[in-house]
Structure 1
């Protein structure tokens, strides 16, 4: 599988229970899966901030991705 770099954008003007909300700049997507790239972006962002709790996050992401699917 080839994953392209599709930027995610933090929405600063929307606050839901103190949760950071990100959206994907889908206009960069030529045809690949939204779910794959969004999950990778979330994981990489958490890793870069040393906030990744690998097992819990990956299981949660998998469940959420399946709900989208």
Structure 2
């Protein structure tokens, strides 16, 4: 019988300059592999990216993380 393995996702905050404007970015890693980003676009606008694909937006960071995990599970 197969055991379920826990998957640990790491979240690291950084900043990135896009089109001359500085944004806060949350990078998501599975081990050492970067699997996605959450861009803090405005106070209540968080954009979720998996690779170069825009997967949607959310009003809170918690909702953005949940959206990321849902979308990532669909792609995996």
Length-normalised TM-score, structure 1: 0.35
Specify which structure has the bigger relative contact order, considering alpha-carbon pairs within 8 angstroms and separated by 6 or more residues: 1
Higher relative strand content: 2
Length-normalised TM-score, structure 2: 0.32
